[in-house]
Chain A
């Protein structure tokens, strides 16, 4: 099992969600986060002066999937979240030891 953690543009959430749903990947956890990449933020303008916003609002999607689906899910996210401009985000992939469904006590593949 793998955990996919994707940091994406807030405005891309709907696209990514729909694309994942279309490939049968429905369950996910979404958080509003702030962060920055190598550029260290962006410039803004206020009454004639520029200032740096160094932490930008982003969306983090976490989902747990079967290993064999990992490539397909990652490709789907990359395709649906991409604009080609700086700030499109990153995807992290982690191994998952165990998953337990709270309601039934089912574990691992049965619980995904």
Chain B
């Protein structure tokens, strides 16, 4: 049956998709600011590349794997090369199919771009390129199919409104696999294994990235309603409150722990709040969103210490903590705080159990697949640049340039 297209829905989802696109700028800027000047071109190149790959490869095959057919685990080729995706209304929505694709494509590119910060300053460009393609054509679309494409998790009632698990955890667990294969940057650890700070080169650039991400999230979460109804107002509010509470959590924890509030960690805290509220943003009250964000801001600080200190995993921007750990927290928070079916709000356990199953299954699939992919890349062409290249900087060796040719490098 043909559903009538709503033009207000169409305009809203299109604008929201463009807001999600702006997050690419946010990621590129915060990652560039958090890393050294000698890696700046490399950061921007990777961020452009995953947008390029995300656009083209998701059009070719990623979209159909995610949204075609009713198989429990993986989509079929019904929408290969956007077959039957056009101006007609998308199933169950009042927006054109091609706009649904446009919006989802921006999400796919977001999942892929999460990896670039974690692997910064040491990965070979070609290895990153291949990893991005695998994420866009297989890893991400499979999880999307499970949750948003009518797959087995959707059948079980798993709730991930805008993608704490589907987008953020997928990116983060891919990053974790890549970083484990890569190893830490030269100079990150002393001989005794004590982590050292490697200060980023521009906190102001990172700050611009942070606010652009926060801005883009007002498309990411409210846009996922896929309609211009009254719910988008509540979603925008819970999103903003969680971001603010996440920042507050990080300020308080670092102030108590370090005697001075930490600026970079506050940025991570705000992003942690945003990632955490992404799954529950449509299912919780504003007060719950503050609690969810605040806890995320605390989790992210201790998670960064845990990955860097205990696990010896060098993640220069904290992507695994922000998107992985807080993605998990946000997904579980649905099961705790949802006004319908949350453990703390209604006493029901089923939803929380489903959320746990979804989180564990996503980790198992994404991490295992990407670990195998990265190992194969490592054996075939090498994941990591040679030592001399890493020391002189990826920009010169891989891209023949210098981000700041007039400045003395350190």
Contact = CB atoms under 8 A, between A and B. Distances in A.
Contacts of B268: 47
Interface residues of B, number: 20
What is the interface of chain A mostly: helix, strand, loop, or mixed? Answer: strand
Q: Which of A45, A46, A48 has the most CB of B within 10 A?
A: A48
A49 B260 contact: no
A-B pairs, top 4 by smallest CB distance, nearest first, are A47-B264, A49-B197, A51-B197, A46-B197
A44 interface: yes
Contacts of B195: 49
Interface in A27-50: 44-50
B254 A48 contact: yes
A25 to B, nearest CB: 32
Nearest to B265: A48
Nearest to B260: A45
28 contacts: A44-B199, A45-B197, A45-B260, A45-B262, A46-B198, A46-B264, A47-B34, A47-B197, A47-B262, A47-B265, A47-B268, A47-B304, A48-B254, A48-B257, A48-B258, A48-B262, A48-B264, A48-B265, A48-B301, A48-B305, A49-B195, A49-B196, A49-B197, A49-B308, A50-B197, A51-B196, A51-B197, A51-B199
Contacts of A49: 195-197, 308
B318 interface: yes
Contacts of A46: 197-200, 264
Contacts of A44: 197, 199
Contacts of B34: 47
Nearest to A49: B197
Contact of A45 (B196, B258, B301): B258
Nearest to A50: B197
Interface in A16-75: 44-51
Contacts of A50: 197, 258
Interface residues of A, number: 8
Contacts of A47: 34, 197, 200, 262, 264-265, 268, 304, 318
Interface of B: 34, 195-200, 254, 257-258, 260, 262, 264-265, 268, 301, 304-305, 308, 318
Contacts of B305: 48
A51 B258 CA distance: 12
Given A44-B197, A47-B34, 20 more contacts: A44-B199, A45-B258, A45-B262, A46-B197, A46-B198, A46-B199, A46-B264, A47-B197, A47-B264, A47-B268, A47-B318, A48-B254, A48-B301, A48-B305, A49-B195, A49-B196, A49-B308, A50-B197, A50-B258, A51-B197
A48 B269 CA distance: 12
A48 B307 CA distance: 13
A59 B322 CA distance: 41
Contacts of B301: 48
A50 B265 CA distance: 13
